[in-house]
Amino acid sequence: MLLGYMRVSKADGSQTTDLQRDALLAAGIEVDSLYEDRASGKKDDRPQLAACLKALRHGDTLVVWKLDRLGRDLLHLVNIVHDLTERGVGLKVLTGQGAAIDTTTASGKLVFGIFAALAEFERELISERTIAGLASARARGRNGGRPYKMTPAKLRLAMASMGKPGTKIGDLCTELGVTRQTLYRHVSPTGELRPDGEKLFAR
């Protein structure tokens, strides 16, 4: 069975799927087997794409007008097709740069294999750049990740204040700029260090 997926980027009516619809119908897809989204390719929430992928069964083929109608980026596209392949579902692209892709044929599988290799290459490059960036930051005395809200200076103030009878926890948290949860993770109500507080001083 053939299922078709269409997408335009704008939902304001300024773009239509007429060209895609005509091409998919000409490819032999029934009207009730067409799925259409009006959303940016970068948008995760594409309900009709999700419905289309869910409806596909072993032996079916997903047909799209152009490759960019389907995936947000190369990696997303490769992941979709990998999932389809695992389920025994084919992908066919009618026109554009991906027109040679038809995973129901040997040559089409070969072309998509090249796409998958490029996606893996892109993933490795991103990983290498991330690792190199973190190493460079550490060499300059900066650590990656979110900054710690609790600092040694704040913790010392918290330890001194927590043991005093007149201390109001809400006021103390406001002064320190931390939540109650963060405060109590680091110091007990009597001003004693807790494991997170010990780790903070050890850093």
Smallest CA-to-CA distance from 199 within 189, 191, 190, 187 is with 187
Distance CA 16, CA 193 (A): 63
Q: CB neighbours of 16 closer than 8 A, spacing ≥ 6?
A: 8
- The amino acid that residue 36 corresponds to is E
Distance CA 198, CA 63 (A): 59
Catalytic pick from 9, 33, 161, 188? 9
Which long-range contacts link 108-113 to residues 24+ away (Cβ below 8 Å)?
112/81
33 is known as an active-site residue: no
Catalytically active residues are: 9
